[in-house]
Amino acid sequence: GENVEQHPSTLSVQEGDSAVIKCTYSDSASNYFPWYKQELGKGPQLIIDIRSNVGEKKDQRIAVTLNKTAKHFSLHITETQPEDSAVYFCAARTGASYGKLTFGQGTILTVHP
């Protein structure tokens, strides 16, 4: 089955800096890669996603890049703010898996004012 590795497990940045979180996946048939943000005591919430026919996608301060050849994808957050502090999860879905997602282990992002 699919295996997703996420790094780093913790990331600490100063407000205004950029943050990058990286994930690798094992199944070359995976075609959908969402990123979720989880705030303390809440359920994960989708912040951005990318499909295998696209190399990059941006939404304001957030961007995701995908390298299918290397089987890795990354989340980029620019101009970080204290409210970006949360746990971030990457995930991957293979084409015929009826929406089943395999998640990475999570990254705890702390943005210091």
Partner 1 sequence: NAGVTQTPKFQVLKTGQSMTLQCAQDMNHNSMYWYRQDPGMGLRLIYYSASEGTTDKGEVPNGYNVSRLNKREFSLRLESAAPSQTSVYFCASSEAGDTQYFGPGTRLTVL
Q: How far apart are CA 78 and CA 74, in angstroms?
A: 13
> Which part of the chain contacts partner 1 (CB under 8 A), choosing from 13-21, 59-67, 77-85, 98-106?
98-106
* Minimum distance from residue 98 beta carbon to partner 1 (Å): 4
# residues contacting partner 1 (CB under 8 A):
26
Could you say which residues in the range 3-22 bind partner 1, by CB under 8 A?
4, 6, 9
For position 37 contacting partner 1 by CB under 8 A, the verdict is no
Q: Say if strands 102-103 and 86-94 run parallel, antiparallel, or are unpaired.
A: antiparallel
Question: Dihedral sign, CA of 19, 8, 45, 54?
Answer: positive
For position 112 contacting partner 1 by CB under 8 A, the verdict is no
Comparison of 15 and 39: residue with beta carbon closer to partner 1: 39
Q: C-alpha distances in angstroms, 113 versus 21, 31, 72? A: 20, 37, 31
Comparison of 4 and 77: residue with beta carbon closer to partner 1: 4
| Binding flags for partner 1, 39-58, as an x/- string (CB under 8 A) | --xxxxxx--x---------
Q: Which tokens hold the place of 25?
A: 């996946």
Q: How far apart are CA 80 and CA 73, in angstroms?
A: 20
